[in-house]
Structure 1
Amino acid sequence: MLVINARLSEKSQQGYQKVAKLTHIIMRSITVLASHNKTDAERFIELGLEASKSHVTGSIKFDITPSDEQLAKVLNLKKLYNSNEDNNDERFVWVAGSTHPVEHELVLSAHQELLKKQPNALLIIAPRHPEQFDKVGELLTQSPLSFSRRSQNNYNNEQVLLADTLGELQCLYGAANVSFIGGSLIRRGGHNPLESAAFSVGVITGPHTYNFDHVYPELIKLKGAVMVDNNDELAKQLITFSQNTKACQTLGIKAVQCVAKNQGAIQKTLTIINQYLEPKP
C-alpha cells in the first residue's frame, strides 16, 4: 500500500492514538508514505509507521502553473475591470475568494472602509458555494454599494462585482492587485492561497488557516502573504496596499516565488511510485 500526499494534523493524530492497536496495524501495512512535510511524517512514525518507509515530498498543491489560456483570460479581465472608463485611471482591484456566510458581511464592510480612502477601488467577491450567490446579491442590494453580476456581463464601473459564475476564480485572482482568501475570518480553516499566489498576486488571510497549515507558514515566512485578525485589520491592510503599489507588487512577487520554491512534489511522488510499478527481474 502506497500513501501519497499524506497529511496528519495534531488533532487527527490524537484521534488515531485512541485506537492505537488498530492504527498500529494500519501503519505497519503501509509500504511507503509520501508526506507533505517533516512534522506530518513524524506524526505517522509516532503512530507506528516504520521510519524507513517515510518520505517527505512536499505538497502537490504547490505544483500549480497557470496555463496559456488562463493567462490570456487574465489579460482580458484586466482590460474589463482594472481601469475606470470615466477617467481612464487604473483601479485598485481586490478579490475576496471563497467567502462564507458572516464573512460576506465582513468583506463588504472592509470594502466600504477602503472606498473612503480609494473611491475608485473595486471588490470582486466570489462566494464559496453557488447557493450563496443570490444571498450575497441581496446583501449588496441592501447595502449602499453599487454592484453588478459577472454572469450578466454588464459591468459599468460599479464598486463591487459579484462573481456568480463557476470555474473563473483563479483567473479573477490573476486580474487583481491582491486577494483575500475566505474561510479564514471565521472558523472554517481557510482555502487554497496558492491559486492566487501562482498568478503573482499576494494574499491576505484571516487567522483561521488550519486546513492549509502545510502552506500558510511557508507563504507567510517568505512574505507572500499577510495575516489579519479581523475585518478592521483587513480594511487597514487593503488601504495600505492601495496606497503603496510597490509593496503590493512585492507581496505578489514573493508569493509566486514561494510557489516556485516548493514545486516538485508530483515528480518526487512519481519517482517513488515508479519504483514499485517497474517489473522486478
Structure 2
Amino acid sequence: MFILYCLLQLFFLPVLLLLIIPAMAIPKYRGRIPARLGAGLSAIIPASAASQKTIWVHALSVGEVTSAIPLLEGLRRDHPRHRIVFSIATRSGHTIARKLAANLVDYIIPSPIDLLPVVMLFVHRIRPMLFILVETDFWPGLLGYLRLKNIPAVLVNGRISEKSMKGYYRFRFFFRPLFRSFRYLFMQTEFDAKAMNTLGVGEKCIKTAGNLKFDTNILNNSAANELHSLFPSEKTLLIAGSTHPGEEEVLFQVFKTLRHSFPHLLLIVAPRNPNRKEEICSLAESLDLDIECRTSMNSSRSPIFLLDTIGELINFYSLSHIAFIGGSLVNYGGHNPVEPALFGIPVLFGPYMSDFHEIALSLLRAGGGLQVKDGNELQQSLESFLASDRKREKYGFAAQQCIQQQRGVINNHMEILNKLM
C-alpha cells in the first residue's frame, strides 16, 4: 500500500501543489504551511549526537495535546536524558502545547504534510528511535516510511466510535495495512480493542490501557485562583463545556427558566469552536439575555459568561458547581467528561455519548453522572441539583471517586513503551 500511495502522490502532485500554493495566501496558513513542508526545521532542531535517543510524539489538535500531557510526563520521568520532539497539526493545538508541554519536551514543531519528500526530511532531521501517535491523525506516507526505516510506531489513547468503525470497515483494504503499521495499539476500552481486532489487527499488538485523561493533572493553580475574582462568591456556576450548534439555544432557554427560581445561577458556555462567539452572542441577545466574553472583560457582571479562549476550560471546570458535557444533546458523539468529574462536581450529558460511551457509563453506574434526553429533562435535573446542596455533593463525590479509581493509566503505557527504548 505504501508504494501505491507514493505513486498516487507523484501522479497527483501538480493538483496538490495547486491546492497548497493558494492556501499559503490565507493569513492563518501563511506561516504554518511552509513550516509543515520543512522550512526552517534544521534551525529549530539541531542535529543530535549519535548517542542521543529521540522520541517523536505527535498530536492532532487541542484535545489530543491535553491527552498527551500524562504521557509526556511519564516519558520525561522515565527517560530524562532522551530528546522529546512534539509535533502538532493545528495552530490552536500548537498554542496549547506551548502552554502545557514546554517544560516536558525539547522541541515543539508543526507536523509534516504527508508528502514523501517532506516525510523523509522530517524523519531524517528528527531521527526518532520511537514514534508515538496520540489518538488519531493517521497518515499512510509517514507510517509507511517509518516502517520502511524500521522505526517502531505506537498508537496511544486509541478509540473508535461506531461511526468511525463503519468507515474503517467499509474501506478496510486501506485501513487494515495502515493500522498494522503500528508495533502496538493502546486502546482506551475493550470495545475499541475488539473493533481494532475486527479490522484485522493481531491481538498481540492490541492493548487495552485506559484513557490517558484519567491521569490528567494539568490544572494551572495560579490561573485558577485568579479566575475566582471573576465571579462573586454567592454565584452558583453551571458550566457547559465544548458545546456545538443546536445546544446553546437549549441551554439558554433552560437557564432563562431556572433563573426565576435560582437568581444566583450563572451560566458559563465554552463552545467547542470559540470562533462561533458572534453567533452565540447574537443568539443570547435574541432571547433577551445579557452575555459577556472572556476576551473582553475583567469581572462577571452578566448572567452568561462566554469562554471564547482556548486552553482554559479545565480551570473553569475547577471553579464550577455543575457541569454539562457538550456535543451530547446533538449527535456529535459527546466530549470527555473526565475533567469536570476530577473536580468533584455532578456531570450531566445528553443521549449522544458514543465517543465516550464507557466513561459515561462508568459515571452513571457510580452515581456521579446523569444522562438527559432533551431540554426538559436537563431543566428538571438541574433544578434538583440547584435545590439540594447535599445531592450535588453526593453526585460530585461519586464522580470524583469514579475517576480516581481509574487513575494510573500511564503506568500501563510506560511498562511496554520502556521495552521499546
Q: TM-score range by the shorter chain?
A: 0.7 to 0.9
Aligned partner of 2:230: which letter? Answer: L
Cα gap change, 1:269/1:242 in structure 2, threshold over 3 Å: closer, same or farther? same
User: Would you say the 8 A contact 1:23–1:48 is kept in 2?
Assistant: no
User: Would you say the 8 A contact 1:148–1:155 is kept in 2?
Assistant: no
Matches within 5 A, 1:110-149: 110-149=254-293
Structure 1 equivalent of residue 85 of structure 2: none
The Cα shift of 1:271 comes to 1.3
Structure 1 vs Structure 2 CA RMSD: 2.3
Cα gap change, 1:93/1:82 in structure 2, threshold over 3 Å: closer, same or farther? farther
CA distance in 1, matches of 2:228, 2:310: 18
Structure 2 equivalent of residue 193 of structure 1: 337
1:4 and 2:156 are equivalent in the alignment: yes
Aligned partner of 2:278: which letter? Answer: D
Cα gap change, 1:4/1:126 in structure 2, threshold over 3 Å: closer, same or farther? closer
User: Would you say the 8 A contact 1:94–1:124 is kept in 2?
Assistant: yes
Report which stretch shifted further, 213-222 or 24-33.
Answer: 24-33
Q: Which has the higher contact order (CA 8 A, sep 6+)?
A: 1
Cα gap change, 1:49/1:259 in structure 2, threshold over 3 Å: closer, same or farther? same
From the CA coordinates, give the structure whose radius of gyration is larger: 2
The Cα shift of 1:204 comes to 0.8
The equivalent position to 2:349 in structure 1, one of 205, 208, 212, is 205
Cα gap change, 1:224/1:66 in structure 2, threshold over 3 Å: closer, same or farther? farther
Matches within 5 A, 1:224-263: 224-263=368-407
1:32 and 2:184 are equivalent in the alignment: yes
User: Would you say the 8 A contact 1:225–1:255 is kept in 2?
Assistant: yes
The Cα shift of 1:22 comes to 5.7
Structure 2 equivalent of residue 274 of structure 1: 418
TM-score w.r.t. structure 2 length?
Answer: 0.59
The Cα shift of 1:30 comes to 4.5
User: Would you say the 8 A contact 2:317–2:340 is kept in 1?
Assistant: yes
The Cα shift of 1:52 comes to 3.1
The equivalent position to 1:62 in structure 2, one of 199, 205, 214, is 214
CA distance in 1, matches of 2:416, 2:394: 36
The Cα shift of 1:185 comes to 0.9
Structure 2 equivalent of residue 86 of structure 1: none
CA shift digits 1:176-219 (9 cap, x unpaired): 11011111111111122122122222211111112222421222
CA distance in 2, matches of 1:24, 1:75: 48
1:73 and 2:223 are equivalent in the alignment: yes
- Aligned to 1:2, what secondary structure does the other structure show? strand
- Aligned to 1:215, what secondary structure does the other structure show? helix
1:218 and 2:362 are equivalent in the alignment: yes
User: Would you say the 8 A contact 2:229–2:299 is kept in 1?
Assistant: no
CA shift digits 1:234-255 (9 cap, x unpaired): 1111111110111112222222
User: Would you say the 8 A contact 1:177–1:249 is kept in 2?
Assistant: no
CA distance in 1, matches of 2:174, 2:362: 34
1:99 and 2:99 are equivalent in the alignment: no
Cα gap change, 1:61/1:217 in structure 2, threshold over 3 Å: closer, same or farther? same
- Aligned to 1:3, what secondary structure does the other structure show? strand
Matches within 5 A, 1:10-29: 10-19=162-171, 25=177
Q: Percent identity?
A: 31
Unaligned runs of 5+ residues in structure 1 are 84-89
User: Would you say the 8 A contact 2:230–2:300 is kept in 1?
Assistant: no
TM-score w.r.t. structure 1 length?
Answer: 0.85
The Cα shift of 1:23 comes to 5.5
Aligned partner of 2:284: which letter? Answer: L
User: Would you say the 8 A contact 1:28–1:49 is kept in 2?
Assistant: yes
Report which stretch shifted further, 38-47 or 127-136.
Answer: 38-47
1:183 and 2:333 are equivalent in the alignment: no
Report which stretch shifted further, 101-110 or 44-53.
Answer: 44-53
CA distance in 2, matches of 1:146, 1:20: 50
Aligned partner of 2:252: which letter? Answer: L
Report which stretch shifted further, 227-236 or 147-156.
Answer: 147-156
Unaligned runs of 5+ residues in structure 2 are 1-152
CA distance in 2, matches of 1:26, 1:132: 35
